[in-house]
Amino acid sequence: MRGRGKSPFPLFHLEYEKCRLENEGGMNVEATSAIDVKALFNLTYGMYIVSTEWEGRKNGQIANSVMQVTATPNTVAVCLNRDNYTWELLEKSGKFSVTVLEEDVPMTFIGTFGFKSGRDIDKFASCNWARGLEGTPVVTDHALAWIEARVFNRIDVFTHSVFFGEVLSSSCLKQGCPLTYANYHLVKKGKSPKSAPTYILNAVK
């Protein structure tokens, strides 16, 4: 049996301990001194739009934490901040789409889906979109491919949730180079919103 408050993942124990101490009203600076955030910047990410709809309300957001989990059946996982409007709708709808963005996507387009809230604007009013086999909205502008999935599990991790989905439909729209976070950060000089897991990397030069 694991001890109270101990992380099951040793590599992340220091960060886990930091959060535990903060929640208990204490803070051990030495517990986090071994973490070099620049090391996290070496992790590779794509740049995607995750979309969903609930009771006629559509929304999508930029996400970089998207991955395929299994091939039989085909499953994917997306990670969203629990304060985001997309999270709120997806938690109710149970279905989502992933748009794989091309490298040449303009920054204004990323700005709409990455730095504006669907609570304030209709993001789909200014882009081309379609519906997947199960009716999920799919952004098709600047898209290389898209995937539609139904949620079968969710794991909450501090500020975020990881949604696991079984793929319902998917399609390749055109050939090209997919946008990566490295390209967005180093070439396009883009930043991450505060709700993104990579927000801390904004300070990395």
What is the 3 state secondary structure string of the chain?
CCCCCCCCCHHHHHHHHHHHHHHCCCCCHHHHCCCCHHHHCCCCCECEEEEEEECCEEEEEEECCEEEEEECCEEEEEEEECCCHHHHHHHHHCEEEEEEEECCCCHHHHHHHHHCCCCCCCHHHHCCEEECCCCCEEECCCEEEEEEEEEEEEEEECCEEEEEEEEEEEEECCCCCECEHHHHHHHCCCCCCCCCCCHHHHHCC
- The 10s digit of each residue's pLDDT in 9-27 is 344 344 444 554 455 555 4
Residues 21, 103, single domain; the answer is no
Q: What does pTM read for this prediction?
A: 0.78
Q: State how many domains the chain has.
A: 2
Residues 16, 85, single domain; the answer is no
Window from 36-40, 114-118, 130-134, 187-191 with minimum mean pLDDT: 187-191
Residues 140, 78, single domain; the answer is yes
- In the prediction, which pLDDT does 3 show? 44
What is the band of 181 on the pLDDT scale with cuts at 50, 70, 90? Answer: confident
Round to whole Å and give the CA distance between 21 and 40.
22
User: Does residue 33 surpass a pLDDT of 80?
Assistant: no
Residues 102, 134, single domain; the answer is yes
Residues 184, 132, single domain; the answer is yes
Residues 80, 158, single domain; the answer is yes
Smallest CA-to-CA distance from 129 within 61, 63, 51, 64 is with 51
Smallest CA-to-CA distance from 107 within 62, 162, 144 is with 62
**186 lies in some domain:** yes
Residues 71, 21, single domain; the answer is no
Residues 118, 21, single domain; the answer is no
**80 lies in some domain:** yes
User: Does residue 202 surpass a pLDDT of 50?
Assistant: no
**77 lies in some domain:** yes
Range of the domain at 122: 48-203
pLDDT-above-70 percentage for the chain? 76
Q: What is the mean pLDDT of the chain?
A: 84
Round to whole Å and give the CA distance between 5 and 17.
8
**42 lies in some domain:** no
**116 lies in some domain:** yes
Round to whole Å and give the CA distance between 148 and 157.
23
The domain spanning residue 167 has which CATH number? 2.30.110.10
What is the band of 47 on the pLDDT scale with cuts at 50, 70, 90? Answer: very high
User: Does residue 81 surpass a pLDDT of 80?
Assistant: yes
**171 lies in some domain:** yes
